[in-house]
Amino acid sequence: MAEFCLECWNKINGTEGNERKYIISKDLDLCEGCGELKPVIIMELKEYIHKFRYFILPIKIIYNIISFIWRLMLLPYLIFKYNKSKNKCK
């Protein structure tokens, strides 16, 4: 697969893309357009992913709250069960 930096990608395609539109590597790699070591484009982000993340965020928050409350309610039972099994071993 060809690896291009953002500047070369924009020159080749005649676009005005910015860094938010693409996933760009954190490490330096050889750009096939200019031949320099630069961060290259890994893949293009899809627009629906950005819209979907705002829909799923409240669901994640609600799930984390319910999960925390559930674990907090189970804690006394788990302590009791642990102490009971500890007494049987003696």
Please check the confidence at residue 46 and state whether its pLDDT lies above 90: no
Cβ proximity of 22 and 7 under 8 Å: no
Q: What is the pLDDT of residue 54?
A: 76
Please check the confidence at residue 10 and state whether its pLDDT lies above 80: yes
Would you give the DSSP letter of residue 42?
Answer: E
Q: What is the pLDDT of residue 64?
A: 96
Count the helix, strand and coil residues of the chain and give each as a percent rounded to the nearest 5: 60, 10, 30
Q: What is the pLDDT of residue 47?
A: 65
Cβ proximity of 11 and 33 under 8 Å: yes
Cβ proximity of 43 and 69 under 8 Å: no
Which two three-digit tokens encode residue 79? 């302590």
Please check the confidence at residue 51 and state whether its pLDDT lies above 80: no
Please check the confidence at residue 5 and state whether its pLDDT lies above 70: yes
Please state, rounded to an integer, the average pLDDT across all residues of the chain: 86
Give pTM, 2 decimals: 0.51
Q: What is the pLDDT of residue 49?
A: 63
Cβ proximity of 41 and 3 under 8 Å: yes
